[in-house]
Amino acid sequence: AAWERDIRRSAAPRRPEGFSVLVTGAAGFVGFHCSLALKQRGDGVLGLDNFNAYYDPTLKRDRVALLAARGVVVLDADINDAALLARLFAAVPFSHVLHLAAQAGVRYAAQNPQSYIASNVAGLVSVFEAAAKRADPPPAVVWASSSSVYGLNTDAPFSELHRTDRPASLYAATKKAGEAIAHTYNHIYGLSITGLRFFTVYGPWGRPDMAYFSFTRRILAGKPITLFRMPDGAAVLRDFTYIDDVVRGCLGALDTAEKSTGAAGGAGKKKAPAQLRVYNLGNTSPVPVTKMVSLLEDLLGRKAKKNVVTLPQNGDVPFTHANVSLAERDFGYRPTTDLATGLGKFVQWYVKYYGVHSAATATARTEEELTASA
């Protein structure tokens, strides 16, 4: 009963017409920022995350400490725990689910391919099941797909109509599978579903496994960084997208999500089909990874020791470049932060969080310090 009281309080909106949102992956980079933004504007947020050790769990705990200070409860649970999800949906009348929990990154598949299937396919089904089976009305679901579904496309910028049948990594394949599964849950169960294809998201409280983050750590430590060239020698370009822009896109997608209609039920009455959407959330201006490094060098005031290697195929795609006109049309999405500005904010956060001279494993100690760097 105490458990139910706590989660109900966390999920209760503070403004009239406010949402009640279940955020999965709330201890993660994007989930943390979206939870903060939703809470800030008066929506109710309940987070859920399994705090896995894919990257430093201390960073996840510190994000969650900040969320807790703002009244957001994050449950330590796995999206594959169907009994727990059923209990949650029975206890709280969520209006929306923002599903961001996933196994991210493309290269980790070489070590643990099954983790992608467990979280991104089985876990997605688990979340859609719980949402669809919740008695009237089922929540609307907004979930994270990925720009990686564009795979080996070379005709940029990518619009949502480009082909997505050539995933270059297992990660991309599971996101593509997720989009197919979304179609099924929309079709059979009348679930309102919006998929968001994020393009290389970066910023404060980011993911240590991503290049801009690990390069920063290594440059500060005087260690060499490895820059990849594609197997054909081509430079790698990424449509780096600043976290605040992505958060605005997620909130815009939630704000314009229609209600689920629920399963047809066989009463013979034809219902209007539930909403099914997919959007690019990118920055629309790809930058060579080498340029990202030179921006970091300027910000850090140090030169990187670079190894440039041509890699055997490892799941990376040569470039990403978003066309975001659909998201702009439907919810006014417009990226506003260029890479130099966004990296500047990241470096500022990084230096404060880790301390300039301390090791990369150091963590900020006090709640005050954490709050100061949010």
DSSP assigned state of 157:
S
CA atoms within 13 A on the CB side of 229: 10
| Nearer of residues 32 and 262 to ligand NAD, judged by Cβ | 32
Of all residues in the chain, what percent are helix, strand and coil, respectively (each to 5)?
45, 15, 40
Q: Is 50 in the site for ligand NAD (CB under 6 A)?
A: yes
- Scanning 4-12, 76-84, 268-276, 324-332 for contacts with ligand NAD by CB under 6 A, the matching segment is 76-84
Residues 6+ apart with CB under 8 A from 314: 106, 107, 110
The span from the CA of 181 to the CA of 198, in Å, is: 18
Q: How far is the CB of 263 from ligand NAD (least distance, A)?
A: 26
Catalytic residue chosen out of the listed positions 150, 171, 333, 353:
171
Region at 266 (left for phi over 0; alpha for psi -120 to 50; beta for the rest): left
Residues 189-228 that bind ligand NAD (CB under 6 A): 198, 200-201, 207
The span from the CA of 222 to the CA of 322, in Å, is: 34
Instruction: Evaluate whether 360 touches 354 at the Cβ level (below 8 Å).
Output: yes
**171 given a catalytic annotation:** yes
| Nearer of residues 97 and 144 to ligand NAD, judged by Cβ | 144
Q: Is 29 in the site for ligand NAD (CB under 6 A)?
A: yes
The span from the CA of 203 to the CA of 114, in Å, is: 28
Q: How far is the CB of 272 from ligand NAD (least distance, A)?
A: 29
* Count of residues engaged in binding ligand NAD, rule: CB under 6 A: 28
The span from the CA of 278 to the CA of 288, in Å, is: 27
Select the residue whose beta carbon is closest to ligand NAD and give its number.
28
Q: How far is the CB of 278 from ligand NAD (least distance, A)?
A: 13
Contact string 146-185 vs ligand NAD (x = CB under 6 A): xx--------------------------------------
Binding residues vs ligand NAD (CB under 6 A): 25, 27-31, 49-52, 60, 78-80, 100-104, 119, 123, 144, 146-147, 198, 200-201, 207
